[in-house]
Structure 1
Amino acid sequence: MKNLKYIVGLACLVLLVNQPAGAQQNADDQYRRPLKEVLTNIESVYGVRIKYQDTMVAGKWVQYADWRYRGDVEATLDNVLKPLDLKVKKEKDKVYKLSVYEYYRWPVAEGWAELDRLAARYTNVTEWEQRKALLKPCLLEALQLSPLPAAPASQPIITAERKFDGYTVRNIAIEILPGVYVNGSLYKPAKYKGKIPVLLNPDGHWTKQRYRPDCQYRCAALARMGAMAFSYDLFAWGESLLQFQSEDHRKSLSMSVQALGSIRILDYLLSLKDADMARVGITGGSGAGSHTVLVTAIDDRIKVSAPVVAISSYFYGGCPCESGMPIHNCGNRTNNVEIAAMAAPRPQLLVSDGGDWTDKTPEHDFPYLQKMYGYYNQIDNVENVHLPAEGHDFGINKRTAVYRFMARQLGLNLAAVQDAAGNIDETKITIEKEQAMYVFGDNGEKLPANAIHGFDKLEQLWKKSTGH
């Protein structure tokens, strides 16, 4: 208590000492001070450094600044910055960096408390099914996909087949709205009979889009195991950049365009004569993990899902393509873990790690999902592979978990990607150059003439097609 009084007293003293003559503040002017002045004073009082660009603080003022100091620097900074939608991140001892308020990132305890609040609404399968029946149409409405816009009558654009060891690849562009294309690569087994499983593989927020080796390894391995695996870009990534700017990806509408893209891709793949409609899965990492959960929740054709390094009760998705549309307002608020529970009792694997917002998945979020699957007496249908020593990627151990899970759930041949000792072996997979995976040519010269350009054109088209 003595230390608290000393610090608060010191803070007030420094404020008074640092005031220029005639600048004494009082309640008449709300003790109002420039943010930069307050931050400089906090650095002096608490012996810390606060890093920021001047543009972040220019023109910002703190109301009742003199009253916002508390016994420790972090409580003080929270009290000062929260009304301005700012926060700090601690970089190391006594060093902080100013950043904008992140609506999508909650303290762990608050995220867990919110999940507990949601879980208190249902205690059995009947109540949970009622909750799902409320959430699903709301998700579609929030995405502005109820009803779905009419699908273009065009046929997909398909490149020549490329043959590799145990699998083949074709690049495909699908028109999801008039003049709007989603591009990807379809990997298939080199030899197969009858109908085979279908696996969607949306790309996440890593550099080099779906051209990255880990994307190619994953889809080629799944094809060698006996599935058709479609790897595709998120909106305003990859070849979508022929039509839109990279900054358009961070527009909220990207979330809806991506969801529509997955629905259209699934429409096409399930129209193929060799597609097994009873064995349909989806897996994606990071932002594509959030997308995996959302698509599974709104499309019952998905039978198996595996979100990787994505789902957390205290992280709602750091990109507007994950949380930009108001899906989380549904049902008097929801979160990504409850949306993941909407897959139940369909098999689901969550892959988590120790280096991101999935670090505590086994402690609270996964037990919640086990409880939900338990309502159906299918607790074994939800799994968690946690890799505490790893970080935010789709590395070999994450891929291995997905291979083993999909092999069990979809009847795939895991031995096709194993060595003699039973370890996953991806050495027979060819990593192609980026240009080989383009649909529209090395320089976009084959982009269809009807392709639209620019986000403003997309907004106009979206309004015309959906009524929103």
Structure 2
Amino acid sequence: MAQQTSDDAYKRPLKEVLADVQKKYGVTIKYADSMVANKWVAYADWRYRTDVETTLDNILKPLDLKVKKDKEKVYKLSAYEYYRWAVEDGWAELDRIASQYSNLAEWEQRKAQLKPCILEALELSHLPEAPKGKPIITPVRKFTGYTVENIAIEILPGVYINGSLYKPALYKGKIPVILNPDGHWDKQRYRPDCQYRCAALARMGAMAFSYDLFAWGESTLQFDNADHRRSLAMTIQVLGSIRILDYLLSLKDADTSRVGITGGSGAGSHTVLMTAIDDRIKVSAPVVAISSYFYGGCPCESGMPVHACAGRTDNVEIAAMAAPRPQLLVTDGGDWTDKMPEHDFPYLQKMYSWYGKRGDVTNVHLPAEKHDFGINKRTAVYRFMAKYLGLNIQAVQDIKGNIDESAITIEKEQALYVFGDHGEHLPGDAIKGFDTLVKEFNQAIGK
């Protein structure tokens, strides 16, 4: 092989460089051949240092690649994750952000910059006109202490968002409204943990609406699941939540002064975003979602340039935009929320204290738990919503005061469909395909 010189940037094939690194440092690097094919490392030999991790960082960063440590001396090659920062980098960025304001007046000025910028980044500064069609509603199903009906709401011409509305079996007057967007867990809206949560909130006295993410669940009758990982998914999901709230708050039994939202994982990011931009939401409970060193691993959380607003922001500052409205953050030791009590939560407490509401932001941290919406996380949400929305927590407690979900019926997935077991009831005007959606959306916003 010809000798390499500065004329050709001392370049070597990435596969060859990785083989050399493994031999030189006595490590194993796992990767698929497709990840290294046709990739070259410029000035390869100049990137070596005394330790393997610095060497690999120097080699891989220009190629938008990185390694994750599997175990001692074993690494796995992966794509660069723009949304996942080192803890110390995330903390430093939040500190930089927070240094721009030192009192309530300065914070309110900052918030006044952020909100319109976020809406502009989402291309929702001027909301598209709402379609005139009425929601499609299935017959009510009756259970112990609550009812369920499935609803599809047209959010753009021919574009539907689908969900299930849980309500108390018996009630008088106006009742609270709680949005329940569902995260990235497989079949989330149909999963037992989601059905438990929404049914329990209904038994406690609220109407709880559980709904699909874009290109998820029944939305895949119109769009491929792969479309969920397109940047516009973030915008469509926000528009969907706005339309759902429009519909629910138009109901004669909805109490517009008691409106909440809770979601886990990607839906937790969505919970924070919706609370920041929609003042109709009075209480929020993002679950296993928020930290200063994680921006959301899906384009539906970070695909639009929201985080570029006002000289850059992060999800913790966006969560602070809820203040002084009550907010619960449920975190655990098994994901990127693992260090919430150490740095990010004190920042939120400070922001709430400027309103004299330090106690209205709370953190239930479960260090022994992992990334899910399990019973302890649901319990925290039930108690929080009962406290701030005036719900009856005793409706889901046993005689010892423990949360008891045993009276709730877990339905089969098909029972929660709006459009039939095989999509046979999907309206004839329903559009299909992402390209058609883009055209419809651009036309709706006058783009």
- Counterparts of residues 5-404 of structure 1 (less than 5 Å): 20=1, 23-404=2-383
Kindly provide the CA deviation profile for residues 167-216 of structure 1, in whole angstroms up to 9, marking residues without a partner as x. Answer: 00000000000000000000000000000000000000000130000000
The structural deviation recorded for 1:118 is: 0.5
Structure 1 contact 209–237 (Cα < 8 Å) conserved? no
The structural deviation recorded for 1:29 is: 1.7
Query: Aligned to 1:235, what secondary structure does the other structure show?
Result: coil
Structure 1 contact 312–358 (Cα < 8 Å) conserved? yes
Kindly provide the CA deviation profile for residues 289-347 of structure 1, in whole angstroms up to 9, marking residues without a partner as x. Answer: 00000000000000000000000100000000000000000001000000000000000
Query: Aligned to 1:278, what secondary structure does the other structure show?
Result: strand
Question: What CA distance in whole angstroms lies between the structure 2 residues aligned with 1:454 and 1:219?
Answer: 31
Residue of structure 2 in register with 1:13 after alignment: none
State the superposition RMSD in angstroms.
Answer: 0.6
Question: What CA distance in whole angstroms lies between the structure 2 residues aligned with 1:133 and 1:432?
Answer: 44
Query: Aligned to 1:42, what secondary structure does the other structure show?
Result: helix
Kindly provide the CA deviation profile for residues 390-418 of structure 1, in whole angstroms up to 9, marking residues without a partner as x. Answer: 00000000000000000000000000000
Query: Aligned to 2:150, what secondary structure does the other structure show?
Result: strand
Give, as a single letter, the amino acid of the residue that structure 1 aligns with 2:83.
Y
Question: What CA distance in whole angstroms lies between the structure 1 residues aligned with 2:323 and 2:314?
Answer: 16
Question: What CA distance in whole angstroms lies between the structure 2 residues aligned with 1:30 and 1:137?
Answer: 46
Determine if the alignment matches structure 1 residue 446 to structure 2 residue 425.
yes
Question: What CA distance in whole angstroms lies between the structure 2 residues aligned with 1:221 and 1:123?
Answer: 41
Structure 1 portions without partners, runs of 5+? 1-19
Query: Aligned to 2:376, what secondary structure does the other structure show?
Result: helix
Structure 1 contact 135–330 (Cα < 8 Å) conserved? yes
The structural deviation recorded for 1:218 is: 0.1
The structural deviation recorded for 1:128 is: 0.4
Residue of structure 1 in register with 2:437 after alignment: 458
Question: What CA distance in whole angstroms lies between the structure 1 residues aligned with 2:104 and 2:203?
Answer: 38
Runs of 4+ displaced beyond 2 Å: none
Question: What CA distance in whole angstroms lies between the structure 2 residues aligned with 1:227 and 1:45?
Answer: 63
- Counterparts of residues 395-414 of structure 1 (less than 5 Å): 395-414=374-393
Q: TM-score, normalised by structure 2?
A: 1.00
Identity %: 78
Question: What CA distance in whole angstroms lies between the structure 1 residues aligned with 2:372 and 2:421?
Answer: 28
Query: Aligned to 1:43, what secondary structure does the other structure show?
Result: helix
The structural deviation recorded for 1:30 is: 1.2
Q: Which has the larger radius of gyration?
A: 1
**More deviation in 302-311 or 23-32?**
23-32
Question: What CA distance in whole angstroms lies between the structure 1 residues aligned with 2:211 and 2:279?
Answer: 20
Give, as a single letter, the amino acid of the residue that structure 1 aligns with 2:431.
I
Question: What CA distance in whole angstroms lies between the structure 2 residues aligned with 1:234 and 1:137?
Answer: 24
Give the alignment partner of residue 423 of structure 1, picking from 379, 402, 406: 402
